[in-house]
């Protein structure tokens, strides 16, 4: 039996809708695989009751098919589904790494990106790679024109998850179909600032580069308490706050040493609105890892 730890990820980062992603140190899924005549799946852990074990409906079933690698696959969820933390991507990326090794398929991490993205299609209806790319490669990733650019990056992060679910399908319904040129220009400016910030591990540039975006303002309406929690995090010293992926998790970029106060401020802000939440004090981290 082979075991892989596959990390949570955060996509979009405000200005990079469907393009930017980061791997997070925690939380993570653990995937175990062993050869079998046909694929079967068991799911345990956080939110497992919402995840189908039928291989035709589970993100990892598509991955096993694509790699022609039938197996019994055990998924121990650490990344809650519908959290905006790349839950399905963690499982898909973990399964891709594990099955590639189990069957000695010899695919590189880059080659596994489109394979894991097929698993994403099962869940969200679109094979977007902005979560599976960082889940496989780690660091900060840019998915553009079918290619992935990876940047080593390391920044302290708080991911605050309110007790609500937002499905990626629903969150994609509110994405504007077009945008004024002024908004496009502003977003390109922010995205460029963020990308440079990542190459320098500069929390100020990254935080500033997460501002605005064409999609985020539409999505915050789906998250009760977003405005208060964002303000609280910024007051506590976060350099930028945005919606993580499709939400409802809020992603706050921090400086060395202020994660605890940022996490506390966000939890208190949600609590004051009567919304339960939990905060992960985490960091930009590595991709899926074989034990």
3-state secondary structure 203-271: HHHHHHHCCCCCCHHHHHHHCCCHHHHHHHHHHCCCCEEEECCCCCCEEEECCCCCHHHHHHHHHHHHH
Residue 168 makes contact with ligand HSE by CB under 6 A: yes
Left (φ > 0), alpha (ψ -120 to 50) or beta: where does 160 sit?
beta
Residue 80 makes contact with ligand HSE by CB under 6 A: no
Closest CB to ligand HSE: residue number: 245
Q: How far is it, in rounded angstroms, from Cα 72 to Cα 74?
A: 7
Torsion (CA) 124, 111, 99, 141 in degrees, nearest 10? -60
- Binding residues with ligand HSE: total (CB under 6 A): 13
From the CB of 193, what's the least distance to ligand HSE, in Å? 19
The single residue among 7, 8, 12, 208 that binds ligand HSE, judged by CB under 6 A, is 12
- Letters for 190-209 (x = contact with ligand HSE by CB under 6 A, - = none) are --------------------
Q: Which of 196, 189, 205, 269 is nearest to 236 (CA)?
A: 269
Is residue 168 annotated as a catalytic residue, yes or no?
yes
Is residue 74 annotated as a catalytic residue, yes or no?
no
From the CB of 103, what's the least distance to ligand HSE, in Å? 28
Cβ proximity to ligand HSE: between 17 and 140 the closer is 17
Cβ proximity to ligand HSE: between 131 and 193 the closer is 131
The single residue among 15, 82, 131, 193 that binds ligand HSE, judged by CB under 6 A, is 131
Active site residues: 120, 168
**Residues forming the site for ligand HSE (CB under 6 A):** 11-12, 17-18, 86, 128, 130-131, 168, 171-172, 245-246
């Amino acid at each position: 039996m082979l075991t892989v730890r596959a990390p949570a990820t955060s996509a979009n980062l405000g200005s990079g809708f469907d393009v930017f992603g980061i791997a997070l140190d925690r939380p993570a899924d653990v995937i175990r695989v062993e050869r079998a005549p046909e694929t079967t799946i068991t799911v345990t852990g956080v939110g497992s009751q919402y995840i189908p074990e039928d291989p035709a409906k589970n993100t990892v079933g598509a991955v096993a098919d694509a790699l022609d690698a039938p197996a019994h696959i055990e998924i121990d969820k650490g990344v809650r589904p519908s959290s905006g933390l790349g839950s399905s991507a963690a499982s898909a990326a973990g399964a891709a790494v594990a099955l590639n090794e189990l069957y000695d398929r010899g695919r590189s991490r880059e080659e596994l990106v489109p394979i894991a993205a097929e698993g994403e299609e099962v869940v969200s209806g679109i094979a977007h790679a902005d979560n599976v790319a960082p889940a496989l490669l780690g660091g900060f990733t840019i998915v553009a024109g079918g290619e992935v650019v990876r940047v080593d990056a390391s920044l302290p992060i708080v991911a605050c998850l309110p007790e609500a679910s937002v499905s990626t399908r629903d969150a994609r319904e509110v994405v504007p179909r077009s945008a004024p040129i002024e908004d496009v220009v502003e977003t390109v400016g922010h995205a460029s600032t963020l990308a440079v910030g990542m190459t320098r591990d500069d929390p100020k540039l990254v935080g500033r580069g997460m501002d605005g975006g064409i999609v985020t303002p539409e999505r915050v309406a789906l998250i009760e308490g977003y405005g208060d929690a964002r303000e609280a995090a910024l007051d506590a010293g976060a350099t930028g706050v945005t919606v993580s992926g499709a939400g409802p998790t809020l992603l706050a970029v921090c400086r060395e040493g202020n994660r605890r106060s940022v996490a506390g401020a966000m939890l208190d802000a949600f609590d004051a609105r009567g919304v339960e939440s939990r905060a992960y004090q985490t960091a930009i981290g590595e991709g899926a890892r074989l034990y």
